[in-house]
Structure 1
Amino acid sequence: MALRSQATAKKAPPPPRPIRLPSTTETTTSSGLKVLAAERGPLPLVSIRLVLHAGSITDPKDKEGLADFTVRLLRRGTETLSADAIDEAIEFVGASLSGGVSEDLMSLYVTTPAEHFSSMLAVLGQIVREPSFPEKEVELARERTLAQFANDLDDPDTITSRAFNRALWGEHPYGHDVGGKAAHVRTFTREDLVRFHRERIGPQTALLVVVGAVKPEVVAAEAEKAFAGWAPAEQGTPVAVPTVARMAQAGKVILVDKPDQTQSQVRIGGPGYRLGHPDYFAAAAMNIVLGGGFTSRLVNEIRVERGLSYGVGSYFDAMSAAGSFAISTFTKTASTREIIDVALAEVAKMRTGGITPRELKTAQTYLAGLYPLRTETNESVASVIADIRVYGLGEDWVEKFRERLHAVTAKQVKEAAAKYLFPEPPVIVVLGRAAEAKKLLKGLGPIRVVPVSEYA
């Protein structure tokens, strides 16, 4: 009897599991604070995120860094709790409390066991409603901040990023470092903090997001207790931030002189897009191919083929009103010009030729696989919920993320490349030994040499 060979059909891989956020319940406290609660198990933990429209764009002109300084002082005492008492209350229950500032927002984060949710929310309520800003704590914070600025001068990466930000944005509200500058921090007083708190920190500028093992009705009741009587901020309307079509130093080279350097730090940049822009998906796929992944074109040409640097990458930095696109790398001083030329050549290839279907597929698969990590923990879910609401991303942002990503075409990627990959000459910032590097940079644009001390 003859044996018959039978081809076994390959089973198609199962479709990816849908990504969905837990349902949210919205309430408003009597003080006007909007509250979003999402019950999520099974772990008995709760993540609390309070975001306020009090980012660095709200810093007074002569007080750059004040928002960042303020958020660090909020937990250093209230009208009824000392800094030590706040620390002890948090540590005793195994919770954590931290805060930070971006260009657009001030944020406070609490992670706590569910059984201590009420007491930790009460602590958060106290520090934002009635901080005392003790004079001694203000002095200590000022000294620590100034010491950090001094230390930063020995960190080429930090100083280059600071110089690059100023070169990109100039006098635009995004143009100063979130942490400010030493000359301004030296002038900070307790009265500055009190005024900033009174003017910028209030319920109508805030959103509270609670995710974890707690019922929405409990969240609403406890939020009412914790934030009752919170006085409105005097300047409660979010700052109107202008859009940007051209960067401040477009077509120019800023050379930050650090004579002890044997390497050059390099940044190349231009305009990007705002958060929530429709170009996001096409631009994200394009960037993964260009320089956003370890197998990207920039990595291959600069690291693998030429050995010019161990590290190179490209990225979009998107904020509420505008954004930037940039390339970041470093190399030995002698190859400063070569690494810039190679990077710009790869940009030009991408801008004129786009990407291949295979590259697009790989980028889509990578980004689609990475995105579910944003919804793995209570903290990440709270972050996404806050972003959706604050930046108007749309309630279906998470659910349709992969669908929109996979709908991107090679034509759309090429259009995004033409739009964002330096259609006008970019800003170039180099930190290194100016005596050697300056002659290598001729022909890239007008060169301005700046001492490293300018960025303290």
Structure 2
Amino acid sequence: MTTLLQKSPIHRTVLNNGIVVLVAENPAADIIAARIFVRAGTCYENREQAGLSHLLSAVMTKGCGGLSSLEIAEKIESVGASLSADTSSDYFLLSFKTVTADFAEILALAGQILRSPTFPETQVELERRLALQDIRSQKEQPFTVAFEQMRQVMYQNHPYAASVLGDETTMNSVTRADLVKYHETYFRPDNVVISIAGRVTPTEAVALVIELFGDWQVPTQALPTLNLPEIIVEPQSRLKPLHTQQSIVMLGYLGAAVNSADYAPLKLLSTYLGNGLSSRLFVELREKRGLAYEVSAFYPTRLFPASFLVYMGTAAENTSVGLEGLRTEVDLLCTTEISESALQSAKNKILGQYALGKQTNGQIAQIYGWYEILGLGINFDQEFQELIAAVTVKDAIAVACKYLQEPYLSLVGQEEAISSAIA
């Protein structure tokens, strides 16, 4: 076992079986939150099985060892704790929160769920039906339709193209045997990070993890190599007629992965453009011109190249002028220098929101575990803040000219309105 003491408030230990344990001692409240990350998620699915990891997350807490779904729920709720499983593009997550006195019991239960889920067939079918309902309902939500359309055209055969839920065909094709195989392949100690924050010392937390997980053996077979298709940039337009009163106008640009030097400048440009009521898009297109019901930009943090998106919800008759307005504002990033004061405001906003996002034990356990599972390391917490602070106007213009040129376009709305917008 190796232990590293960092300058950060996080204690990092690697167990003999490869589990990384992160502990942030915070005695302020009598609560402990934990996040158990697994290097799994949608990027580790076969394309024909898109939605598999979502189904696994839904069924995983419905039976383990000798416990039924009801017995698991009673164990958690009888002590006022919470426990849930979730999946994303880049990782799988088991989360829980409990009072300090019950931490050992709930961590032991989480360990059972993580290591020996039973995937009861009746629960698999129930959760499949619920997922299919979600997939169908999303087809009636204009923003979701536009976003789905954008992901598919931008990422083609890359897993980022697919919804976490997959589609009706792939969700129907996943079997219980597929869940078992996926679990056996990726849920192993050398592929796990356990991040803990709350009223517990690092020594106590690590000793408990060793007691509960130390006997978990690393399989003899190596982890499969993640061999993803190359993302080919071919900007194009996609239109989806939908009977709705408003149009969703979405522009997409292929950005950088989190480990790229361009990540921080792009994150800052996304904040400047579309984060909040003082953002450029909100002020120019909604406040001054009254074009948008909603307008925003977002650029998620991803292990592989992430999409930089700007979008607007606007009245059908404003579709063309709204599209022109969005395109103009993005194009200005490359041709017109952002003022030092505007850049500093964006920095203050992103760093302020970042600090506010680390207030609870759950948030602390989440962010450090997330950085660890992405391969960035726990020191990225400090590095991210330094990277944002160091971005110059010149840096911002350079990444805008590099990434934000020819956009992908996704339009959803009344057929006449969206067709005339690109005529």
| TM-score normalised by L of structure 2 | 0.92
Deviations 1:263-298 (A, max 9, x none): 111211011111132223322332222222322221
- Is residue 410 of structure 2 the alignment partner of residue 429 of structure 1? yes
- Is residue 195 of structure 2 the alignment partner of residue 209 of structure 1? yes
Deviations 1:102-157 (A, max 9, x none): 11100111111111110001000101111111111111111111122222222222
What residue number does 1:195 align with?
181
What residue number does 1:42 align with?
28
Return the match for 1:257 from 211, 224, 241: 241
The alignment partner of 1:225 has SS state of: helix
What residue number does 1:112 align with?
98
Aligned equivalents of 2:358 and 2:298: distance in 1? 22
Deviations 1:207-260 (A, max 9, x none): 11111111222222221232244354656246244564x43xx332101122x2
Percent of aligned pairs with the same residue? 28
**Greater CA deviation, 221-230 or 318-327?**
221-230
What residue number does 2:251 align with?
268
What residue number does 2:41 align with?
55
Aligned-residue offset at 1:377: 1.3
Aligned-residue offset at 1:394: 4.7
**Greater CA deviation, 63-72 or 305-314?**
305-314
The alignment partner of 1:41 has SS state of: coil
What residue number does 2:226 align with?
239
Aligned-residue offset at 1:70: 0.3
What residue number does 2:9 align with?
22
The alignment partner of 2:323 has SS state of: helix
Aligned equivalents of 1:27 and 1:361: distance in 2? 39
Deviations 1:326-377 (A, max 9, x none): 1121112221111111111111111111301121121122223222113211
Aligned equivalents of 2:20 and 2:176: distance in 1? 29
Contact 1:299 1:312 (C-alpha < 8 Å) held by counterparts = yes
- Is residue 421 of structure 2 the alignment partner of residue 440 of structure 1? yes
CA 1:205–1:310 in structure 2 vs 1: closer, same or farther (change >3 Å)? Answer: same
Aligned-residue offset at 1:420: 2.3
What residue number does 1:15 align with?
none
The alignment partner of 1:261 has SS state of: coil
Return the match for 1:79 from 36, 55, 65: 65
Letter aligned with residue 253 of structure 1: S
Aligned equivalents of 1:61 and 1:281: distance in 2? 31
Aligned-residue offset at 1:52: 0.7
Structure possessing the higher radius of gyration over alpha carbons = 1
What residue number does 1:369 align with?
352
Letter aligned with residue 237 of structure 2: V
Aligned equivalents of 2:267 and 2:214: distance in 1? 43
What pairs with 1:30-429 in structure 2 (closer than 5 Å)? 31-230=17-216, 232=218, 236-237=223-224, 239-241=226-228, 244=231, 246-247=232-233, 250-258=234-242, 260-422=243-405, 425-429=406-410
Aligned equivalents of 1:228 and 1:409: distance in 2? 47
> Which sections of structure 1, spanning at least 5 residues, go unmatched?
1-19, 443-456
Aligned equivalents of 1:414 and 1:74: distance in 2? 46
| TM-score normalised by L of structure 1 | 0.86
CA 1:144–1:400 in structure 2 vs 1: closer, same or farther (change >3 Å)? Answer: closer
Structure number with the higher helix fraction is: 2
The alignment partner of 1:313 has SS state of: strand
Contact 1:354 1:417 (C-alpha < 8 Å) held by counterparts = no
The alignment partner of 2:47 has SS state of: coil
Contact 1:202 1:236 (C-alpha < 8 Å) held by counterparts = no
**Greater CA deviation, 105-114 or 409-418?**
409-418
Over aligned residue pairs, what C-alpha RMSD do you find?
2.0
**Greater CA deviation, 123-132 or 301-310?**
301-310
The alignment partner of 1:162 has SS state of: helix
Residues paired across the two proteins, number: 416
